[in-house]
Amino acid sequence: MKAKSLTVLGLVALLLSCQSPKEKLTSEQVENLVADAYVHCFPIVENYKAVYFYGVLEASPFFTPMNTVKFETRLYTADDKAVVRANNDTYYSNGVLDLRAEPVIFKVPEANNRYYVFQLASQTTDNFSYIGTRSRGSKAGVYAVTGPDYTGKLPEGVVEIKAPSAFVGVVGRIGVNGEDPVDRDAAIALQNQIEIGVMSKFYPEFKPKTVEKIDFPAYSQASITTPEFFSLLNFLLPYTTLAPDDEAMIKKFEEIGVNNSGDFTFLEENPEYEEAFSAGVKKGLERIDAMMTEIGTVKNGWMLWPIQDPYFGSNFRLRTQIARGHIYANCPIEAYYPAARRDADGYPFNGQNSYTLTFPADALPPAKFFWSLTMYDNVTGLMAHNELNRYSIGDRTKGLKYNKDGSLTIYMSHKMPKEGPSNWLPAPDGPFDILLRLYGPKEEVMNNSWVPQPVVKLD
């Protein structure tokens, strides 16, 4: 019996000795894997910028303590330089939730049919749920956003919203009718009635669990252009519950040190790959920037983003594209954003020229709540100063004039058109682009049967 065991062990040893050791990755292989990992995981790291500046760095002008939401009571204008392509329609609110210890409660009042929304985004930037007029109605309600590991009970009458990550970004919007003082006061009154905070604040009988204090790494813009990207990625992965197909994708990058250990040690252990890593990051960023010209389809000169549910699901390419240029954009079912930067003949917009955009009477922007067209400087992505202090125009614009047949023509140029200011959306004196926002797009938008008319350059 003993001899037989030794024979079996000897055979195993012989078989093992015959296996060839795993081949070491070439620099080219590492570079390509780094580029692939960079493109796929970019949203996770880009999202950390908001977590850091909104919820961690107390010296940041955007800082508000974790598990609270800061409400603004003004519309964004050309004086705002921090957020590109912000809207000029709603009062924003922002915050970061840390759900490790306990859920966070949202108590919302009766909204009296005013449009409002809290967009909840995971660490992969997926909009996993909404609280607002479209998604929950105008009635008062109490909601608990719970972490991926939460299994406890909730107070009676509280609706659970399960988050796929320990940290959640909150972007709130409350619609207002421009600078109308009565409407502004009503919107602020609604804001003042909204209560947001940890569950134990509202329900003391529910005790939070003890969690470790996190030493958050610093974020800088350079972080996404160097191998430091992967240190941030590995720091974030332990706090993110990935969908199976997402997890399978990321598992492919274990060969270059991507994992949920919290630490990135691959380059310390393999310094010979430093040059390949730097080249891979550069290649990945270049690939993403090239992808930015291919979001959705172009019809009548308008870039139309894909319409799908969920957003983004397994469409990881779209997730990265949106994270790079339009991070925290709403799902199409909440708000849809056709964008244009060229006229009907394919030439880029320039404010030195004059343009018109006409919506036929039977094809006005189909929105359940409201719509607007916003003007941006194409170089900076910011709104531009103008003599009217008008940055958007839409169905709530006072004095808007419709044509005799019911159609609506909007004029765009740097100088005021001869038709006067009523339908004029002032442009900068150089390159510009425009963004159409439809809040609560109707079925004809969602089934792609409605597309804006092309923008026409006037002679």
pLDDT of 14 reads 44
Residue 16 belongs to a domain: no
Q: What is the pLDDT of residues 137-153, one digit of tens each?
A: 999 999 999 999 999 99
- The CATH code of the domain that includes 65 is 2.60.40.1610
Residue 40 belongs to a domain: no
* Whether residue 258 sits in one domain with residue 178: no
* Whether residue 316 sits in one domain with residue 269: no
Q: What is the pLDDT of residues 129-187, one digit of tens each?
A: 999 999 999 999 999 999 999 999 999 999 999 999 999 999 999 999 988 999 999 99
Q: What is the phi/psi pair of residue 173, to 5°?
A: -145, 135
Q: What is the pLDDT of residues 426-455, one digit of tens each?
A: 999 999 999 999 999 999 999 999 999 999
* Whether residue 314 sits in one domain with residue 247: no
* Whether residue 280 sits in one domain with residue 377: no
User: Could you give the number of structural domains in the chain?
Assistant: 3
**Whether the predicted pLDDT of 8 surpasses 80:** no
**Whether the predicted pLDDT of 411 surpasses 90:** yes
Hey, which residues does 238 pair with through a beta bridge? none
Strands 424-426 and 408-413: parallel
Residues spanned by the domain of 168: 57-202
Q: Rounded to an integer, what distance in angstroms lies between the CA atom of residue 409 and that of residue 424?
A: 9
Q: What is the pTM of this model?
A: 0.91
* Whether residue 197 sits in one domain with residue 226: no
Residue where a domain terminates, one of 202, 234, 251: 202
Is residue 124 within 8 A of residue 237, CB to CB? The reply is no
Q: At 109, which amino acid appears?
A: P
Q: What is the pLDDT of residues 15-69, one digit of tens each?
A: 444 444 568 999 999 999 999 999 999 999 999 999 999 999 999 999 999 999 9
Q: How many CB atoms lie within 10 A of CB 307?
A: 16
**Whether the predicted pLDDT of 13 surpasses 70:** no
Residue 29 belongs to a domain: no
Residue 30 belongs to a domain: no
pLDDT of 121 reads 97
pLDDT of 325 reads 84
Is residue 359 within 8 A of residue 450, CB to CB? The reply is no
CA 26 centroid distance within chain? 36
Residue reference for tokens 């079925």: 443
* Whether residue 309 sits in one domain with residue 429: yes
Residue reference for tokens 């003993």: 2
Residue 434 belongs to a domain: yes
pLDDT band at 293 (very low <50, low <70, confident <90, very high): confident
